[in-house]
Amino acid sequence: MKSHRVRTPGLQLTEHRLQVPLDHAAPEGERIEIFARAVVAIDKVDAAQPWLVFLQGGPGFEGPRPLGPDAPAWLARALADYRVLLLDQRGMGRSSPLGPDDARATAPQALAERLAHYRADAIVRDAECFRRELGVERWSVLGQSFGGFCALAYLSAFPGALREVYFTGGLPTLERPVDEVYRQTYLATMARTRRHYERYPEDRERVRALVERLSTHDVRLPGGDRLTPARLRQLGLMLGMGTGSERLHYLLELPPTSPAFLHDVERASPWARNPLYAVIHEACYANGMTTAWSAERVLPDAYAADPTLLTGEHVGAWMFDEMAALAPFRDAAQRLAERPWPALYDPAALAANEVPCAAAVYVDDMYVPRADSEATARAVRGLRPWITNEYEHDGLNAGGPKVLDRLIAMARGRI
């Protein structure tokens, strides 16, 4: 492992780069580099603090950076108790990033086989490589959204490596097929859309007019992609966050022919910056099944009847035709959609769990259905759920230290 240490105001940061197998089942094969940044409060550098590993949401996003405008709000609370390891999951950030140029240079079948090693089970094994390399006997894990899916896979496969596990907006279903998950998230997104229009009724007519215009006019975003009705409707992705409705309104109130509007629409779309978010998204729900473009197949009829309904975290094959950043992944993504995926979780191991666990389950979570999270909480022995409507899916950051503070207290039996 290669490491570099630096001190910044209030923090000591150590950058680690570690070579791990692309396929953990074939350790003598190709290796990739995984990056993680260790963070410790400057006044606790010499303290014997336990470790906390943060697993990011997505899939397709790197770990947060500890300083600057994107610094996570929960980090200060974590550093009071822990040394924190911020992991860039494979293919993202500084962990052997996989982008359009790599996709163009790789045959579709070979790319699909490669991407099959980018799910939660592989991410967990990357973390285990770091744990062993750092000489840590057991550590704690905090999983946000998709990071919670990874944390559940960790709890299934390596419970002996874990001291505590915290989930925020990230307890996935153990039993429900992927089609049912997307049916539920569509219902939640439609409800959020209608709630938004009740709050900002003029936005419904703005969206209606935009859909009509985009159906007949070739409107281009600054990056060159055509803005289509389907892509416009993806702005509903914002609605699952605490201030999402306001951010959507501020975007829609801009004149639709203005550079500001087109720039903000493009910036609101995460796919170009993080293409793996689209490429392997449905696979994160494939717990022993084939997805076959589930979100596209189960799109409710209501969307055809009402062009103002917005979509959310729903990936479809059409995106790989309309978005230049995704086009190089098109054929590989199709192969992944046809792939029979192995199981991600071990229900028997979870039922016998002895690791202290606590989970924030958000009542109105638009991305991870509450009912599924509650069922999984009941299936994991000793897991204590905190079911709350105080926060949306981004409660871990929106709540500052409060959410993590409560989960720590729950896992340690103080609440």
Average pLDDT over residues 160-188: 97
| pLDDT given at position 67 | 86
pLDDT band (50, 70, 90) for residue 259: very high
Cβ atoms 51, 136 nearer than 8 A? yes
For the residues 174-188, what does the mean pLDDT come to? 96
The mean predicted confidence, pLDDT, of the chain is: 97
The model's confidence at residue 198, banded by pLDDT at 50, 70 and 90, is: very high
d(CA 20, CA 129): 7
70 versus 130: the higher-pLDDT residue is 130
Q: Over 108-177, what HEC string results?
A: HHHHHHHHCCCCHHHHHHHHHHHHHHHCCCCEEEEEECHHHHHHHHHHHHCHHHEEEEEEECCCCCCCCC
**How many percent of the chain have pLDDT more than 90?**
98
**What is the pLDDT at residue 70?**
73
Q: What is the pLDDT of residues 11-28, one digit of tens each?
A: 999 999 999 999 999 999
CA distance 179 to 292: 10
Mean pLDDT of 336-342: 97
In this prediction, residue 388 carries a pLDDT of 97
- pLDDT score of 256 more than 90: yes
pLDDT tens-digit profile of 202-247? 999 999 999 999 999 999 999 999 999 999 999 999 999 999 999 9
pLDDT at site 71? 84
- pLDDT tens-digit profile of 284-313? 999 999 999 999 999 999 999 999 999 999
Using the predicted structure, report yes or no on whether residue 393 has a pLDDT greater than 80.
Answer: yes
Structure confidence by residue, pLDDT tens digits, 47-61: 999 999 999 999 989
Evaluate if residue 135 carries a pLDDT over 90.
Answer: yes
- What pLDDT does 360 receive? 98
pLDDT of residue 68: 76
Query: Among the CATH numbers 1.10.490.10, 3.40.50.1820, 1.20.120.530, 3.60.21.10, which is that of 2-173+345-411?
Result: 3.40.50.1820
In contact, 348 and 152? CB cutoff 8 Å: no
- Beta-carbon contacts of 235 under 8 Å, excluding residues fewer than 6 positions away, are 248, 251, 252, 265, 268, 310
Whether residue 137 has pLDDT greater than 80: yes
Q: What is the pLDDT of residue 226?
A: 98
Regarding pTM above 0.75, the answer is yes
**pLDDT reading at 130 higher than 90:** yes
Task: Report pLDDT for 69.
Answer: 72
